[in-house]
Amino acid sequence: MLMMIICLGLFVFSAWYVPFKLKRLCGLKRAWPISAAVFLLLAGFYGMLLKGLYTSANPVFTVAYNVLGLFLIFQTFLFIYLFAVHIFSPCLKKYPGKGIAAAGLFICLGLVGFGFIQARSFTVTYHEIGVRGLIRPVNIMHIPDLHLGGQRREGYLKELIETAGRHRPDMVIYNGDMLDSDIALTPELFALFNLVQAEQYFTTGNHEFYIDMKKALQLIADAGIRVLHNEMVETNGIQLIGLEYMNADQVTYDSHRVNDLTIEEELPKIARDRSKPSVLVHHSPVGLQYVSKGNIDVMLSGHTHGGQVFPGTVLIGFRFPMNKGRYQVGGTTLLVSQGAGTFGPWMRLGTFNEIQFVKLIPE
């Protein structure tokens, strides 16, 4: 909560600082009109976010939300640039103010454009994990954070599914936040999942709770994807445990809390053979201490997007110390994906859309 208040305060300050700094550099007569416009645009984005309008099936809201999100990032980059100019102003006295301002606008627009293009594709990363007691190798395609909706629809999903199919996985796991908008709740979109020639599993993320969840889960089930609600299934020689989105425990803060469930309390309730290989799937990389105590071999997570866009790539570590890549606690290996899609601003900078091909091998 404190981090959110600080960020909002910085955005309000930037709405004043950026126009007035540009006024000084360029010799503009007035900055207040620009400042008011910037403030309204930023307020519009946060208003849509807080009101949940981005989840609407109305395409007008979808376009507005994406455009405002890109403007938010542009404003953030420009604020950082101009603040750096202020700090190093003694070294920049020989350069004309208009040139410095123009360079900043060009650089920031370029970064937003590059990030927008970067967010339109995905990368497959490869991970090999040794698992005790495994009889044969098991191939898993791990796909969290698709965020189907206003930003991603049939074209992106079809390309992703075809890529996954070429890897011939034993199973495909959609680990939460498959959807973030009611605009994606169409039978035509979900029919694409029938192209997958492997077992398919799904666990809920926090964003499924913000849309028409009943309809979403029905469409997912009708597409041949098994929804795991805090349960274990035995498949391909492993115990696959799927948890719906929940907090680590009752004490840890979670800004996305959607229920009163916790990993600490729910995991011990799931009957399993602790001597057999086990993989736990949970959208958020929290509660690893309880997963490790439960004698789980592998935990798969997403949720963090790796921070998605700088400076979020730096700040994310304060909220999620384990936010991308591989970690080891006791006998448990945690693998965190940066996510197959994006949320908020449709861009990536310092991260990339990622689906993970996970090969479990006998140890």
pLDDT in tens, the chain (363 residues): 566 677 778 888 988 999 999 999 988 888 898 899 999 999 999 899 888 899 998 989 999 999 999 999 999 999 999 999 999 988 888 889 999 999 999 999 999 999 999 999 999 999 999 999 999 999 999 999 999 998 999 999 999 999 999 999 999 999 999 999 999 999 999 999 999 999 999 999 999 999 999 999 999 999 999 999 999 999 999 999 999 999 999 999 888 899 999 999 999 999 999 889 999 999 999 999 999 998 999 999 999 999 999 999 999 998 999 999 999 999 999 999 999 999 989 999 999 999 999 999 998
* E strands in the chain: 123-131, 138-142, 171-175, 199-203, 226-227, 231-235, 238-242, 278-281, 298-301, 325-329, 332-336, 354-362
The predicted structure's pLDDT at residue 136: 96
CATH number for the domain that contains residue 316: 3.60.21.10
Residues β-bridged to residue 326: 335
Which of 97, 118, 139 corresponds to the end of one domain? Answer: 118
Does residue 81 share a domain with residue 151?
Answer: no
The predicted structure's pLDDT at residue 240: 98
CA-CA distance, 19 to 258, in Å (whole number)? 39
Does residue 104 share a domain with residue 145?
Answer: no
Does residue 132 share a domain with residue 112?
Answer: no
Which of 68, 99, 118 corresponds to the end of one domain? Answer: 118
The predicted structure's pLDDT at residue 55: 92
Which of 79, 103, 118 corresponds to the end of one domain? Answer: 118
CA-CA distance, 331 to 344, in Å (whole number)? 36
Please state whether the predicted TM-score (pTM) of the whole model is above 0.95. no
Does residue 227 share a domain with residue 163?
Answer: yes
Does residue 184 share a domain with residue 325?
Answer: yes
CA-CA distance, 197 to 326, in Å (whole number)? 28
Does residue 21 share a domain with residue 110?
Answer: yes
Say which DSSP state 314 is in: H
Does residue 168 share a domain with residue 137?
Answer: yes
CA-CA distance, 100 to 25, in Å (whole number)? 8
Does residue 184 share a domain with residue 55?
Answer: no
CA-CA distance, 28 to 22, in Å (whole number)? 8
CA-CA distance, 241 to 230, in Å (whole number)? 7
CA–CA distances in Å: residue 324 to residues 37, 333, 356: 36, 13, 11
Return the structure tokens found at 134: 């495994």
Return the structure tokens found at 38: 């910037």
Does residue 131 share a domain with residue 54?
Answer: no
- Cβ atoms within 10 Å of 332's Cβ, excluding its own: 21
Does residue 175 share a domain with residue 100?
Answer: no
User: Residue 30 is which amino acid?
Assistant: R
Q: Which of 162, 291, 304, 290 is nearest to 239 (CA)?
A: 291
Does residue 152 share a domain with residue 10?
Answer: no
CB 108 within 8 A of CB 127: no
User: Domain span at residue 101?
Assistant: 2-118
Count the domains in the chain. Answer: 2
Q: Tell me how far apart the 2 most distant CA atoms of the chain are, in Å.
A: 74
